[in-house]
Structure 1
Amino acid sequence: MKKRTVGSFFSGVGGIDLGFENTGLFEIVYANEIDKYPAITYESNFNLKVDVRDIKDVKGKEIPNFDIMVGGFPCQSFSLAGYRQGFDDEKGRGTLFFEMVRILKEKRKLNKQPGVVFFENVKNLVSHDNGNTFRVILEELNDLGYKVQQQVLNACEYGNIPQNRERIYIVGFLNDLEYEKFHFPLPILMETKLSDVIDFKHKQDSKYYYTSENCKFFNELENNMKTSHTIYQWRRIYVRENKSKVCPTLTANMGTGGHNVPLIRCNTGIRKLTPRECFNLQGFPKTFKLPKDLSNTRLYKQAGNSVVVSVIEKIAFCIAKALSI
């Protein structure tokens, strides 16, 4: 059976790509990521050289043809954690969606337009600017001939991963029948526990621990973090326990300290999560390589900017079913 080919944009460390490849039905033939550091992590885990050019410099005729375009186009502009500038973001991140549209148009002129598109973003993309941002995205895709479905899925409900991470997933098809056959996955029981992805028992490097010497609010942590096997956060002036037994949404700034960083009380003290534990909470396998020459701050950022692999894999299987692979 011939695998369907995938072109990946804003690839990061390859979370979307890994989800598609895990099905055994898709092959990544092109990946673009402007940040050289996640590209290093990507190339440590995939047999593919990453194109690290700015997407604005990438021409459709220069890159391989592919059946499916995938991309988690930068979400800072649309994130609740950001300023929500959307397409007016002065750094141009919001406009990067239109660079993917440009490449699709260039492929269409070559009669090589991919039959499927798949995008991931923060859930409030739908409500940004009273819905105008999302309306423009849908209009652009419709103008290219794609019929689109979208749904917000939470990792703890659809990925068997104990993280409260809601993201919108957008899938478009050129073929009407394939569009009609596609359905998003159904929710599943979450069987993975925090203790399956976080080591509450064993001593970690001292740099991960909070103490009275390195943390000015340590006494509040000590007095309020009573139990193990759950996640806490310092919320500027108080300690919050996540009683749902899942991790709050991982962010790109977890390596910088400060408020909202997930914290645990384990057998060896109070500490933040390790980069490996953050990748575990994104559904990456324990075999996924984290380059030793990259700083923890960069690895935290890479984990926080990534996707939940198991959710992607389930959607990829649904796409495969619609394509009758």
Structure 2
Amino acid sequence: VEFYSGIGGLAVAAKQAGVEVKLSFDIHPLANKTHELNFPSVSTSPTTICKLSAKSLSTLFSKYFQGTPAFWLLSPPCQPFSRRGLQKDLEDQRNESFLHLIKLLSTIEEELLPQYVLVENVACFEQSQTREHLTAALKNRNYHIQEFLLSPTQFGIPNQRLRYFCLAKKHPLEFYSTDYDDKINTTIANAQASHSSVCDPICEYLELETPVQDMLQSYGIKDKTLERSGKLFDIKIPQSRTTNCFTKSYGRFVEGSGSVLETSSVEVQADLQYSDEEIVKELKKRKLRYFSPREMLNLHGFPKDFVFPNEITTQQAYKLIGN
């Protein structure tokens, strides 16, 4: 079962790991439409998580799993913990549903508990009181836990997106290694051994089959945006080996929302000592554009056959991916 399913990022990962998601929960209509399009066999529920009870979970699990799901996958709202937010943690209303799930984990009957739990959130979650509540609840129900802070760049993917992961296995299940117990881990030895320490170049994730001019027509950065915020862009070229984390504000706000791509082959120097007018003039020569939704999906590890419904706009797609 997948809680806070969004467009299905954890469902994609589960499928690649040989795990089938049968039931998902999210209240976002466009996210649910996208999830249903790509995972037609999954039942997507718009039920508010705070309304779930031990009784309703038992009913749902009996209907969709003929018992209890082996996995709980959770990617709760990150705003209560994000550096860009107020970090209100337990006091943030957007955290109520996750705290409710933690309470359910603490109180539901033993037979309703999953064998495995995976929680994903932003970096800084590991410093939160919510994390303390989560790990205490899991340990009290006899789960072994391991925690990680990992980024796609550690696996050869050129995108900086540091995330917290909590893995839990119900006793008597155990982890293969105890090396990762009782600490926040920032490396995985086996993964590092099987991936290049240098990320792939961005060009391997771009829509290169589409003419540059067509991409500029669809995703080019407007002159007025360059004039207003040109100094703030994080500019990458196709040979770059990293991109900054994309947020749901990508395409609307500039600073901290994600990288943009330079498509010009002309060598340009946009020295910050230039006047604003000169900087804009130089930036225009670089033919800057936003990454397309397809390219963003590629950089987030989604498969090539993952698609958005036709009615989803570019800006809506950005918001769904960056969420």
Please confirm whether the aligned pair reaches a TM-score higher than 0.5, indicating the same fold. Answer: yes
List per-residue Cα deviations over 1:226-277 (Å, max 9, x = no partner): x73267xxxxxxxxxxxxx300111111132332342111048211111111
Query: Which consecutive residues of structure 1, in runs of 5 or more, have no partner in the other structure?
Result: 1-6, 232-244, 306-325
Question: Residue 221 and residue 8 in structure 1: after superposition, are their counterparts in 2 closer, same or farther (change >3 A)?
Answer: closer
Residues 191 and 164 of structure 1, relative CA distance in 2, 3 Å threshold = closer
Which amino acid in 1 is paired with 2:219? Y
Structure 1 runs (4+) greater than 6 angstroms displaced: none
Residue 212 of structure 1: how far off its partner (Å): 2.7
Distance 1:42 1:67 in 2: 21
Q: Which of structures 1 and 2 has the larger relative contact order (alpha carbons within 8 angstroms, sep 6+)?
A: 1
Give 1:202 deviation, angstroms: 2.2
Q: 1:196 aligns with which of 179, 204, 208?
A: 204
Task: Please point out which of 132, 153, 170 is paired with 2:166.
Answer: 170
**Which residue in the other structure is 1:186 paired with?**
191
Partner of 2:117: 117
Do the aligned partners of residues 263 and 230 (structure 1) sit closer, same or farther apart at CA in structure 2, a change above 3 Å counting?
A: farther
Q: Which has the larger radius of gyration?
A: 2
TM-score by length of 2: 0.77
Q: Say if 2:131 is the partner of 1:138.
A: no
Is the partner of 1:264 in helix, strand or coil? strand
Residues 60 and 103 in structure 1, CA contact (< 8 A), matched pair in contact too: no
**Using the alignment, how far apart are the partners of 2:24 and 2:139 within structure 1?**
25
What CA deviation, in whole Å up to 9, does each residue of 1:86-126 have, x standing for no partner? 1111xx222222222244356x4262311111110112111
* Contact preservation (8 Å) 1:76, 1:82: yes
Percent identity, please.
Answer: 21
Q: TM-score, normalised by structure 1?
A: 0.77
The range that moved more, 290-299 or 34-43, is 290-299
> Contact 1:8/1:17 (CA < 8 Å) preserved in 2?
yes
Asked if 1:79 is matched to 2:82, the reply is yes
2:13 to 15, 19, 24: 19
Contact 2:152 2:162 in 1 (8 A): yes
User: How far apart are the structure 1 equivalents of 2:175 and 2:73?
Assistant: 16
Question: How many residues of Structure 1 are paired with residues of Structure 2 in the alignment?
Answer: 276
The one-character-per-residue Cα deviations of 1:210-230 (angstroms, maximum 9, x if unpaired) are: 2435542477589x96x7326
C-alpha change, 1:199 and 1:221, in structure 2 (3 Å) is: farther
Q: Tell me the C-alpha RMSD between the 2 structures.
A: 2.6
Instruction: Give a deviation string over 1:135-156, Cα, whole Å, max 9, x none.
Output: 2221122122212110111111
Contact 2:70 2:116 in 1 (8 A): yes
Helix, strand or coil: the match of 1:169? strand
Structure 1 partner of 2:101? 100
